[in-house]
Structures are given as C-alpha cells and as structure tokens.
A and B are shown apart, each in its own frame.
Chain A
Amino acid sequence: MNNKLTLKKALDKLNDKSLTLEELYNDINSSIESQNKKLNVYLTLNRDAFETANTNLNKPLKGIPIALKDNYCTKDLRTTASSIILDNFIPTFESTVSKNLKNSGGVILGKTNMDAWAHGSSTETSQYGRTLNPLNTEYLPGGSSGGSAAAVAADMCIASLGTETAGSIRQPAAWCGVVGLKPTYGRCSRYGIIAMASSTDSPGPITKTVEDSAILLNYLAGHDPLDSTSAQISIPDFTKTLNLGVKNLKIGYLYKDLKGLDEITKIFSEQMQVFETLGATVDVVNAINPKHGVSVYTIVQRGEVSSNLGRYDGIRFGKNRSNFGDEAKRRIMIGTYTLSKGYADQYYNTAQKVRTLYIQDFKKLFKTYDVLISPTSPGYAKKIGATQGQAMFGELEDLLLEASSLSGLPGISIPCYKDDKTNLYLGMNIVAPMYREDLVIQVADAFEKATKWNRWRN
C-alpha cells in the first residue's frame, strides 16, 4: 500500500524507480475513495493532480501528492476556509507557500476541512461538517488544521500543509498521532493564506515523520517580498540536524506542575526521561503561567479576526454576513468590543504588553536551555460533540502553546505515547528560539528514533 509511505520513502522509491507515480496515485486515490465519505477530510479534490504530477518528476518533490488546508488560496482551485461565505470562491492567484511547493514539484491533491476561518481546535466549527479522527472515529481530530492532520493519519496523502496561530498545526497533529511543525512566525510567507490572526499566523507542514517535516520545510520556507512580516534570513538545510542526537543539550521541561495536567503528567514525565538516556540534561523549569496567554491570545486574536473578516461584507463574495457561523460571529463581536474606543487600552493594548512579558520570559529561559518541552495538549483527543457549549474550547486545548505562539517561536508536536484502549496518542511539544527550527527538528528526530511511538518509522 504505497499511500502508507513516508515522504522520504516515496521520494527514494520514485528515485530508484521501484515505484511509479501511477502506483502511488492509485493507492492514494483508493484510500481517499474508501475513507473520505466517513472521515470528511477533503472538501475539494484536485482532478488534475495525477496529470500534473507527471510533469514534475524531474523536480525535487517529484510530483508527490500533498494535501492543503483550505485556507491556502490556490489558483483555479476552490478555497473556502470551511465557510460557506466562500462556498464558490475560486482564487485567481496562488499563495506563496503553495507556489513554493508547486515549484519544487509537490502537487496539490486537494483541500482539507478545517474549523471555519481557522476558528477552533476541533473542526466542529466547519460549515461543511466535522472531520473524524482516523485513529478512532468517535473522537475529534483537533484543529483548526484537523483535515490536514487526519489526511496524514489516514494515509490519504503523503504529507499535508496546515497553518497555526496557536496550536492549529500541533494540536491536531498530536490528536491524530502525526508530526506537526509550526515554523517561526515569518519563516514561511503568509501571502495568499486567508488571514486569521495576522500577527501569529504561521503556515507549516504536517507529516508522518520528523524527517518529512524537515524535507518539506526546506521547500516551503523563505523570504517573500509580498509579505512584509516574512523574515529576511537565510534558510538552512533543515535535514542537516537529523540524526545528530541530543547529547549535551539542555532541555527545559515546561509546565510540569500545571494544574489540570495531572492525568498525563506521569506518562509524560516518563517520556521525558528518554532524553536523559540519550545524554541530554532535563530540568523542570518555571515559566510565566500560561493561563495569561489564553487571555492575551484571545484578545489579540479576536481583535485581528474582527478586522480581517470585515471584507466579507456581503458585497463581493456572493454571500451575505448572515452566513457566518456562530463561532465567527462570537469572535467578531468580542474583537470589535476589545478594539472599541475606551476599551482598547484596557484590553488590546494591555494584552500586547503581557505578550511582551512572555517574549522576554522565553528569551530568559533560552539563555539556559536549548529547547523547552511540554505536552502539546492538556490531554488526549476529545470526543465528537465536545465543543458543544464550550465557547473557549480551542483556547483551553491550546493552553500550552499560546504563550510560545504569541512569542513567534517555532515548535513541533510529535507522538510520545499511545493509549491502547482508545488508540489515541499524546503529543510532545518542543519549542526553540526564533529561527531555530533546526534545533526543534534535531530534538524531535532523536526522540522519534529512540522510541516506538511513530507509526510509520517502524
């Protein structure tokens, strides 16, 4: 079953001609056919994918099929952000990251379901129905990049792209038992990605292994003159730190004593010992309580959302504002309120100051530690319907990621434990200083190769 291949193996096999694109696409397509109806992963499929793949064999990614979250504008391919407001929106232009992917020989297989406008951590706010977790269909895949994580978990693609503002790549990756890499803010261009919270949106890969993430990131990252916030900084070969191990690295274990994590702390602490056996030192560290990050993130993100969604005013996209779902309406209202005259100081401006405190806190910690590690999510995937009546569902699920996301830091989530009863995984979140994705990859790769939790490696 060639759809189960990792990106690395598929590339190797295409290289040594032990695999043809036809075989690969046949297996991928039949896996989509057999599962998509139930899992609701893809909203739109690219009918020309295989044909396009055949013209890309001489490029580095050789026509490999990649799934894209449906908030990447893709030329001539419907892009909805899982909102019926954009039900028939067909962009006339390509997002920079998907253009980079195409130029490197990657092929867009289809567009995956997500929380509408990326608002949420469950896909339950999608106006095209929720996606189910391929590991156990009674559970949610997480979100907002839930479709992209599920596509990888169900081998309905070789790899996928998601976007994250605070957890939207890593949390669904954790819940679906796959690898999700959130690059540094500014490492990958935001141009052509339907904006959620502009000051934290970060596109990145969701893959089967850490190595696959490193390979993909090599082709996605880079300065983009069309995005003023994209970093003018050179791109290293992110695969260079694979297999280097963690010997002598200093690791900070973050949020160990945080209330509410008791259920998983014991398991997680055991997994942290892996690093010690690999020669790293692990210290439990104190950081500013992440709960303030929830407030800061909520205020900043809602404010930006209320402004970013203004353009869907019913004049130009064929659907009026009554088509916004409840979650979008809630966010628009809160954001409008926090930016209002007389309240902006109390909310938005204060939030930005607290954000600066987190940035300084991380800077201080990174003077001592190479990377900081915590669970990705406070627990396992939640059951379907769990978001009912939980307006702050996403923010609480992403509690452990918001502070570092607000600080722009790169992070990765990798599977670090499996519950045999439910078949669900726990995720481990590894965070490094700005532009040190190489470190994140090095540490994640070492753990992945030293443990049994990755389904594709073994």
Chain B
Amino acid sequence: MKTIKTNKNEYQLICGIEIHAELKTDSKMFCGCKNDPFGAKEPNIYTCPVCLGMPGGLPTANKKAIEWTIKVGLALKCKINLFSKFDRKNYFYPDLPKAYQISQYDIPFCFDGVLETSYGPVKITRIHLEEDTGKLLHKVINGKKVSLIDFNRSGVPLIEIVTEPEIYSPEQAKEYGKKIRQILRYLEVADCDMDQGGMRLEANISLAKIDQENLPNYKVEVKNINSFKFAEQAISFEMIRQAKILDNDEIPVQETRGWDSNKSMTFSQRSKEDAEDYRYFPDPDLPPIRFSRENVDFIEQSLPELPANIASRWFEEYKVEERYSAQLITDIQSANLIEESFNLLINDSLTPNQLASAIVNKKIDISRENKASNIITTFKSLFQLDDVSQDEILKKINIVLSQNSDAVKKFQTGETKVLGFFIGQTARLIGKKVDANLLSTLIIQELNK
C-alpha cells in the first residue's frame, strides 16, 4: 500500500483501472471486413455499409470474438453470464458513424474475476465486448486545417476490462497492466500494441485519508496512457496533485485528464461533473446471446496453462526465478520450447535458471523456428572454451607485450591494473574463447620473465 504524507495528512491511493484491448480476430466485430487497422496500406480500405454506419447497415456478431472474451474472462477467474446481450451506447462523435457504439451495459459477458499481483489481488469487476471507433486525423491540407476520418478501425472488436478500486500503489497498477497484457498475448487473442492504440489504459484515481473508511467521494480519470511506465508516473503525479488540493480542504474536480509524457504531468481535458447519459438500451438489431454451461466448460477446457501458473511451477520444478519467467512467458510456443530446454539440463552442471538468465540477457533465439537442442547448444557454448594451444596463447601474449612496451614498464613499476588491458588485447588477438584465469597467469608469468 502506497501512502503519501503531507504536512497535514497521510493519504492512501484508491485506484481502479480500465483496459481496452483490440482482439485480433480475422474480421471485425459486426461485419465481415478485415480486422487489420494497423496493417492497412491506406485509410478506409477495410470498410463496408455496416462499419461505415450507412443507412440500412445491420450488425452481425463475431462468434470468435465472443468466445475469446469468455476465454479472457475464464483466465481472469471471472464468472460468465450465460445470458447476455449487446446494448447501444448513444453519443455523438465524428469517429462514431452510427452515433452509437455497440457495447454491453448491464449484462457483460464476464464479471467478478481476480488477478493476483505481488502487491495483492486485484478484483476484476467486469469484462465486456464492444466495437472500436474510427480514427480522426487532424491535418493541414492546402493551408487549411481539416479533420479526416479513417474507418479501418471502425468496428474492430474491443474488450474492456474493468477493476474494482482496489489498486493501492502506482507500482501495483503497472504490474497489473503488464500481467493483463501478458495474459492477452499468451491466450493469442490480442497483440496489445500500446503505441498504436491496440491496448489503452485509463486510471480512475482518488485519495482517501489513511483512517477513512468510505471510498472517496470523487474520482479523477486519466486517459490516453500508452505505456505502463506512464501509468505509474501519471498515478504518482496525481497523488501529489490531489494531496495538495485535499490539504486545502478542497475536493479535486471530477474530470477527465490526459497524460502529457513530455512534461510528465496530467492535464485537464474535460469536466465530468455530471455523469454522461449514454441512453443505453438493448440493441434491437442483435438478439440476446445464450450460452449453455457446456459451451463455457468447453472454452474453459481449451484454456492453456496460464503464465502465473507456469512461473510458479518453473520456480518449484526448475528453481527458475520469477524475474526471468516474467519476461520469458510471452506465448505458448516459446514457453513450451523453453521448458523443453530446461528438461535437457537435468543432470547437467548448468542450471535451468542459468539458461533463463542467458535467454533474457544474451538474447538466445527462442522463436518457434528454433529447437530445444539448438538452444542448449547455444547456451552451453556461452560457457565453453575454444581449443587453443598454450603455445598459441604465449605467441599472442608476446606480440601484445612487444607492441605495448610503455604498458609493460608501467606494470613493472607496480601499476598492476594494466593487466586487464593485456588480457583484453590478447583475447582479442586470439579471437577465440579462452579461460581468462589461464590468460592472466600466463601474462604475469611472461611479464616476470
């Protein structure tokens, strides 16, 4: 739990997070258009009457996107609504061609889940499925300011994962975000490219006095956060900003703020005094959706072992440290490949943890084209010395010494730190891997001759 102390009070952070992630289904959420907004070569090429909101266009729901949403829900230990529906969220914006977004209001597909972090569990309130909007581009064309709309993204399936206000530190927020991304990627349902907006983060931030029992009576929403580091920074910034306001016995304005990563500060975007009225109602174009228990069980059985589980198992079975496994478990293929490689080290002097460290630090190729046996070979070669004869080494040492008579003099006058220089020079001249200790001994021996 992170608290902030001022001269007057001590406050604790109360934070909830909303994450939007675009699902990487082949087609869009409610039409057959290709779902590839970031790969599109030109604007408005993946469009049709439905995602353009033309008169008469009608949505048909993408079954795979619904199944994937439930898959994500099950991975986050959510309960699944066997009866669900899509609702219209009505608002006007140029990137929203129908003037409503098809979303889910009171019956999301998934609810009541939890994600463990090292700072404690984070309760997931709900996960629902909706459609993404188009994208506005503000440009100057022929000296005129114009706003252009690209509908390639319009109708891309988007899940929203909402937590309870139970995140108590900026670090926890960051870890939570990273874990969600890891799971979405691991389940192969989303790429979560944050730079391009494939995954977007919003934090609802408020402070409570340390002994306060009720939740704060205000919240500040920070939007447009496109990295986990920024999330951490934005929350820390807000804690300081809000603590100052609260110290003056004022309440921070209920508003939406943006994150300016250049200035490292949040800034006011719009006031949110009154909750917006989106006039939600069930979309009459889409019949309600019913699942049987068996449907859900089937999806549950298809879930792979999840990253958190793999990490703790790797720790138990292979003594692989969490700091490595957190980085190594990114997708099923590479996780399997790495584990297969661990197994090849049974009864070996080198340990799986050393391998894990080497993969992280020495960037051993763990792409799906590689094989476990190759990985082990590469790994062992890091520790293996080349076969170089002592004569050869001595020959090279003498070359180095004869070329650096100044340094030799220094050594002989007691400046022993030049030894490192000789070792480096000699090793480079040999061009192969040799035992540094052996090299050192031989150089000293030659110098003392």
Instruction: Using A228-B286, A228-B287, A310-B90 as known contacts, say yes or no to A95 and B281 having CB atoms under 8 A apart.
Output: no
Contact across chains for A91 and B54 when beta carbons are under 8 A apart: yes
Contact across chains for B98 and A311 when beta carbons are under 8 A apart: yes
Instruction: Using A304-B284, A310-B100, A315-B94 as known contacts, say yes or no to A340 and B277 having CB atoms under 8 A apart.
Output: yes
Asked if B92 lies at the interface with its beta carbon under 8 angstroms from chain A, I say: yes
Q: Among residues 189 to 229 in chain A, which have CB atoms less than 8 Å away from a CB atom of chain B?
A: 190-195, 197-199, 225-229
Query: In this complex, what residue of B is CB-closest to A79?
Result: B55
> In this complex, which of B60, B100, B275, B287 has the most chain A Cβ atoms within 10 angstroms of its Cβ?
B60
Q: Mark A225-263, 1 if CB is under 8 A from B, else 0.
A: 111110000000000000000000000000000000000
Contact across chains for B100 and A194 when beta carbons are under 8 A apart: no
28 inter-chain pairs at a CB distance below 8 angstroms, sorted by A residue, are A73-B49, A73-B54, A79-B55, A91-B56, A92-B54, A191-B57, A191-B58, A192-B56, A193-B56, A194-B55, A194-B56, A225-B60, A226-B58, A226-B60, A228-B286, A228-B287, A229-B284, A229-B286, A229-B287, A303-B281, A310-B98, A310-B99, A311-B98, A311-B99, A313-B92, A313-B99, A339-B280, A339-B281
Task: Report the minimum CB–CB distance from B48 to chain A (whole Å).
Answer: 8
Q: Mark B33-56, 1 if CB is under 8 A from A, else 0.
A: 000000000000000010001111
Contact across chains for B92 and A198 when beta carbons are under 8 A apart: no
Instruction: Kindly list chain B residues whose C-beta atoms are within 8 Å of the C-beta of A313.
Output: 92, 99
Contact across chains for A228 and B100 when beta carbons are under 8 A apart: no
Contact across chains for A311 and B279 when beta carbons are under 8 A apart: no
Q: Give complex CA distance A293, B275 in Å.
A: 33
Asked if A128 lies at the interface with its beta carbon under 8 angstroms from chain B, I say: no
Asked if B88 lies at the interface with its beta carbon under 8 angstroms from chain A, I say: yes
Asked if B155 lies at the interface with its beta carbon under 8 angstroms from chain A, I say: no
Instruction: Kindly list chain A residues whose C-beta atoms are within 8 Å of the C-beta of B53.
Output: 311
Instruction: Kindly list chain B residues whose C-beta atoms are within 8 Å of the C-beta of A315.
Output: 94
B interface secondary structure, majority: loop
Q: Mark A340-354, 1 if CB is under 8 A from B, else 0.
A: 110010001000000
Query: In this complex, what residue of B is CB-closest to A190?
Result: B58
Asked if B198 lies at the interface with its beta carbon under 8 angstroms from chain A, I say: no
Instruction: Kindly list chain A residues whose C-beta atoms are within 8 Å of the C-beta of B99.
Output: 307, 310-311, 313
Contact across chains for B54 and A227 when beta carbons are under 8 A apart: no
Q: Mark B58-69, 1 if CB is under 8 A from A, else 0.
A: 111100000000
Instruction: Kindly list chain B residues whose C-beta atoms are within 8 Å of the C-beta of A229.
Output: 284-287
Q: Among residues 66 to 106 in chain A, which have CB atoms less than 8 Å away from a CB atom of chain B?
A: 73, 79, 81, 86, 89, 91-93, 95
Contact across chains for A228 and B55 when beta carbons are under 8 A apart: no
Instruction: Kindly list chain B residues whose C-beta atoms are within 8 Å of the C-beta of A228.
Output: 58-61, 285-287
Asked if B97 lies at the interface with its beta carbon under 8 angstroms from chain A, I say: yes
Query: In this complex, what residue of A is CB-closest to B91?
Result: A310
Contact across chains for B100 and A307 when beta carbons are under 8 A apart: yes
Instruction: Kindly list chain A residues whose C-beta atoms are within 8 Å of the C-beta of B97.
Output: 311, 316
Task: Report the minimum CB–CB distance from B380 to chain A (whole Å).
Answer: 57
Q: Give complex CA distance A91, B55 in Å.
A: 9
Asked if A336 lies at the interface with its beta carbon under 8 angstroms from chain B, I say: yes
Q: Give complex CA distance A191, B88 in Å.
A: 18
Q: Give complex CA distance A204, B284 in Å.
A: 19
Query: In this complex, what residue of B is CB-closest to A199?
Result: B284
Instruction: Kindly list chain B residues whose C-beta atoms are within 8 Å of the C-beta of A93.
Output: 49, 54, 56
A interface secondary structure, majority: loop
Q: Give complex CA distance A228, B289 in Å.
A: 11
Nearest 10 Cβ contacts at the A-B interface: A310-B99, A199-B284, A339-B279, A198-B284, A192-B56, A194-B55, A73-B56, A341-B277, A311-B53, A228-B60
Interface size on B, residues (CB 8 A): 27
Q: Give complex CA distance A191, B53 in Å.
A: 12
Query: In this complex, what residue of A is CB-closest to B49?
Result: A93
Q: Among residues 269 to 290 in chain B, which have CB atoms less than 8 Å away from a CB atom of chain A?
A: 275, 277, 279-281, 284-287
Interface size class of A (residues with CB under 8 A): 35 or more
Q: Give complex CA distance A310, B99 in Å.
A: 5
Task: Report the minimum CB–CB distance from A69 to chain B (whole Å).
Answer: 12
Task: Report the minimum CB–CB distance from B154 to chain A (whole Å).
Answer: 12
Query: In this complex, what residue of A is CB-closest to B277?
Result: A341
Q: Give complex CA distance A306, B280 in Å.
A: 12
Q: Among residues 196 to 221 in chain B, which have CB atoms less than 8 Å away from a CB atom of chain A?
A: none
Q: Among residues 43 to 70 in chain A, which have CB atoms less than 8 Å away from a CB atom of chain B?
A: none
Query: In this complex, what residue of A is CB-closest to B61?
Result: A228
Q: Give complex CA distance A192, B58 in Å.
A: 8
Instruction: Kindly list chain B residues whose C-beta atoms are within 8 Å of the C-beta of A190.
Output: 56, 58
Instruction: Kindly list chain A residues whose C-beta atoms are within 8 Å of the C-beta of B277.
Output: 340-341
Instruction: Kindly list chain B residues whose C-beta atoms are within 8 Å of the C-beta of A311.
Output: 53, 55, 97-99
Q: Give complex CA distance A195, B55 in Å.
A: 7
Instruction: Kindly list chain B residues whose C-beta atoms are within 8 Å of the C-beta of A316.
Output: 97
Taking a contact as CB atoms closer than 8 A, the residue among B56, B90, B275 that contacts A339 in the complex is B90
Contact across chains for A344 and B279 when beta carbons are under 8 A apart: yes
Task: Report the minimum CB–CB distance from B280 to chain A (whole Å).
Answer: 8
Q: Give complex CA distance A92, B50 in Å.
A: 12
Instruction: Kindly list chain B residues whose C-beta atoms are within 8 Å of the C-beta of A226.
Output: 58, 60
Q: Give complex CA distance A339, B279 in Å.
A: 5
Instruction: Kindly list chain B residues whose C-beta atoms are within 8 Å of the C-beta of A307.
Output: 88, 90, 99-100, 279, 281
Task: Report the minimum CB–CB distance from A236 to chain B (whole Å).
Answer: 23
Query: In this complex, what residue of B is CB-closest to A200?
Result: B284
Q: Give complex CA distance A336, B88 in Å.
A: 13
Instruction: Kindly list chain A residues whose C-beta atoms are within 8 Å of the C-beta of B275.
Output: 341
Query: In this complex, what residue of A is CB-closest to B53?
Result: A311
Query: In this complex, what residue of B is CB-closest to A186?
Result: B287
Q: Give complex CA distance A86, B54 in Å.
A: 11
Q: A91-B56, A192-B56, A228-B287 are in contact. List 13 more A-B contacts (CB 8 A).
A: A89-B55, A92-B54, A191-B56, A194-B55, A199-B284, A226-B60, A227-B285, A228-B58, A228-B285, A229-B285, A311-B53, A311-B98, A344-B280
Instruction: Kindly list chain B residues whose C-beta atoms are within 8 Å of the C-beta of A73.
Output: 49, 54-56
Contact across chains for B90 and A348 when beta carbons are under 8 A apart: no
Contact across chains for B279 and A340 when beta carbons are under 8 A apart: yes
Q: Give complex CA distance A226, B49 in Å.
A: 11
> In this complex, which of B53, B94, B99, B100 has the most chain A Cβ atoms within 10 angstroms of its Cβ?
B99
Query: In this complex, what residue of A is CB-closest to B100?
Result: A307
Contact across chains for A310 and B92 when beta carbons are under 8 A apart: yes
Instruction: Kindly list chain B residues whose C-beta atoms are within 8 Å of the C-beta of A89.
Output: 55
Q: Give complex CA distance A121, B59 in Å.
A: 28
